[in-house]
Amino acid sequence: MAKVLVVEDDLDLLRQVAARFAAAGYAVETAADGESAVGKLRAGCFDLVVTDIVMPVRDGAEVITTVRQRQPEAKLIAVSGGYRAKAADFLRMALALGADEALAKPFSHDILLEAAHRLLARPPGPLLAEAV
Amino acid sequence: MSGGPGLRHELNNVLAKIMGAAELALDQPMPDAVQDELRRILAFVENGAEIVRRLDLPASPAGT
């Protein structure tokens, strides 16, 4: 069973995405901010990390950097609804930092799960970031 | 969060939550008519998301 960490500061979205991954058969852990996510990444290994970008305390950029430093083979999906910059700008930044895929909010859970399945089926190794 | 850029972020989060709730509801057994209405809600969310994308809000390099 693949293990996924979902990082999202909006608790409704966190619950929804976690529920959808759990229903799809994933073992799910959640973090409601970047600080909590970094702690979980230090404590355990994940096959997949799904992280929001704009979050308090520590943002998604720090989460992505931590994943790439500590668990370089983990797959990583970044999501954003934008803030001061457009969502696409955050998502380009996420890809540049090492995210494998980037999704702009709002997105269908089916799209997210498809991305997760596709990434987890891919063998570990150097990755080419996909354009936003 | 406040101001235009923050509102764009908040609106996208609200749209994402509506979409997520409708999709989770669609996983449950329900009459066809209710399923049709939920699919309409998803289409309305897509319309709203497209409007947000077209908003010409000034971008700042100092994102959080």
Minimal Cβ distance to B9: which of A20, A83, A108: A83
Residue A58 to residue A77: CA distance in whole angstroms:
17
Residue A45 to residue A109: CA distance in whole angstroms:
24
Q: Which residue of B has its CA nearest to A20?
A: B24
Question: Quick one: which of A58, A55, A47, A48 has its CA closest to A10?
Answer: A55
Dihedrals φ, ψ of B52, to 5°? -60, -40
DSSP B28: S
The token pair that represents A72 in the structure block: 């370089």
pLDDT tens for each residue of B1-48: 445 667 888 899 999 999 999 999 999 999 999 999 999 999 999 999
Q: How many CB atoms lie within 10 A of CB B24?
A: 16
Q: Would you state the pLDDT for residue A91?
A: 83
pLDDT tens for each residue of A108-121: 999 999 999 999 99
Side-chain half-sphere CA neighbours of A63 within 13 A? 37
Quickly state the pLDDT bin for A6 (edges 50, 70, 90): very high
Whether residue A111 lies within 8 A of chain B, CB to CB, comes out as no
Whether residue A121 lies within 8 A of chain B, CB to CB, comes out as no
pLDDT above 60: residue A124 = yes
Cβ contact A52:A60 at 8 Å: yes
- Report how far apart, in Å, the C-alpha atoms of B41 and of each of A26, A36, B37 are: 27, 34, 6
Does the distance separating the beta carbons of A82 and B20 come in below 8 Å?
Answer: no
* Interface mutation target, options A58, A83, A97, chain B, most CBs of B under 10 Å: A83
Which residues of A fall within a CB distance of 8 Å from B20? 12-13, 16-17, 20, 106, 109
